[in-house]
Structure 1
Amino acid sequence: MTAARATPLFIFDVGGVMVDGFDVAPAMAAEFGMDPASLEAALAEAGSRALHEGAIPVAEFWDRFEAATGRRPRGEPWADYFHPSRRPAMYALVDRLRRSGARVVAGTNTIDPHYEAHVRRGDYDVFDRVYASNLMGVSKPDPAFWRAILEAEGAEPTAAFFVDDMPENVAAAAALGIVAVRFESVPQVSAAVTAAAGG
């Protein structure tokens, strides 16, 4: 009987997996005096997906937001309200994987201010490479996001493991044949990673 092949490529989401404190929406809603659903709709109308895919600059996004809502932000909310904090156990898990010889990359939906903040803080340093939507021009859950990573890494879908906190992203990755796990807890993900790594 042939032994199961260890997964050679691990892809980790960042916000909601590696870090907490990344959600700026509650503070934005308070600043603009909007309920969460209305804010989400307004952000989408202003082009939040285009912003995440690097298609428009932040200044243009806020111009669109003001045109749609009549509200202009104080300062730069994307940066001002962004206070990520690392999950030490997840960083330790990624570090152990890399020291074992595994290839570990980040696959994240992000925008320029958040990407720049993570770079300044060294939050991406634990990874072999970072695949960020704002630089790739495509975002999850578009299948092209994972296809671009797999092509760059020279990996087949069935030889990749992906973890994310968003169900739609997990489902989209799984549909490509990637071993995909939704983050629920560090022990749960750690067990799944250990199994995928052949440990």
Structure 2
Amino acid sequence: MADVQAVVFDIGNVLIEWQPERFFDSVIGPDRRAAMFAAIDLHGINDAVDRGSNFRDTIHAAAEANPDWRAEVLMWHDRWIDMASPAIDHSVRLLRALRANGVQVFALTNFGIQTFQIAEPVYPFLSEFDRRYISGHMAVIKPDPEIYAMVEDDCGLDPATLLFADDRIDNITAAAARGWQTHLFTHPQGWADRLVAAGLLSESQAR
């Protein structure tokens, strides 16, 4: 296996919890939330934002198109930061430990242009990557092979030297198909163990 030249982090559910259903359960209750998500493809609408569509315009249009759920849909815009929380502190420590060891660290994330601007002041570690690949600016989202090719072209590294952590198996599968080393993220300790096994961190650094 090739030596790792850069570690690539997904952000949602790797560095920051992203659980819209949990948020709406807490605000409108599980039954009403389930009915809303059955009636409206909110994740599909969010994909449009992640491809670069304007956040406010996209969510407001969805709210107007679904008058029975207008107030709830508007929460996706007005309370977005409450859905994108909290930070996964152990993962943040791993990011910083890697950089302290001189390892290049990239972000590759499905994230809107405006939503990333909202998140940056709340989560200062988002400014700490050596390179950031934000889907909204790239106009393509994972797991489209094009987004991985764009990363490869920009960073100039052999795909086999990239180690990528993501919480979605489809995103991992697409990266692996291009020769990337991958880790399916389920918990920060598993990711820490993988980084230790790769020789990038000591066990004490990975805590």
TM-score tier after normalising by the smaller chain length = 0.7 to 0.9
Per the alignment, residue 46 of structure 2 pairs with: 48
The 8 Å contact of residues 46 and 68 in structure 1, kept in 2 or not, is answered as no
The 8 Å contact of residues 6 and 197 in structure 1, kept in 2 or not, is answered as no
Q: How many residues align?
A: 195
More helix by share: 2
Per the alignment, residue 178 of structure 1 pairs with: 180
Structure 1 window deviating more from structure 2 (166-175 vs 78-87): it is 78-87
1:6 maps onto 2:3 in alignment: yes
1:123-142 equivalent positions in 2, closer than 5 A = 123-142=125-144
What displacement does 1:17 show? 0.8
2: distance between equivalents of 1:124 and 1:16? 14
The 8 Å contact of residues 161 and 196 in structure 1, kept in 2 or not, is answered as no
Task: Give the percent of matched residue pairs that are identical in Structure 1 and Structure 2.
Answer: 23
SS at match of 1:86: coil
Question: Structure 2: which 5+ residue stretches go unaligned?
Answer: 202-207
Question: Alpha carbons of 1:111 and 1:73: their partners in 2 closer, same or farther (altered >3 Å)?
Answer: farther
What displacement does 1:114 show? 3.0
SS at match of 1:158: helix
1:23 maps onto 2:24 in alignment: no
TM-score (norm 1): 0.82
Q: RMSD across aligned C-alpha pairs, in angstroms?
A: 2.7
Question: Structure 1: which 5+ residue stretches go unaligned?
Answer: none
Per the alignment, residue 118 of structure 2 pairs with: 117
Question: Alpha carbons of 1:62 and 1:154: their partners in 2 closer, same or farther (altered >3 Å)?
Answer: same
Runs of 4+ in 1 over 4 A off after TM superposition: 28-35
**1:120-139 alpha-carbon deviations (Å, 9 max, x no partner):** 12130232222111111111
What displacement does 1:40 show? 6.0
**1:11-60 alpha-carbon deviations (Å, 9 max, x no partner):** 1011111122x322344475597443751662359733221111344323
1: distance between equivalents of 2:92 and 2:186? 16
2: distance between equivalents of 1:40 and 1:146? 31
2: distance between equivalents of 1:188 and 1:66? 43
TM-score (norm 2): 0.80
Question: Alpha carbons of 1:100 and 1:46: their partners in 2 closer, same or farther (altered >3 Å)?
Answer: closer
1:163 aligned residue (146, 165, 169): 165
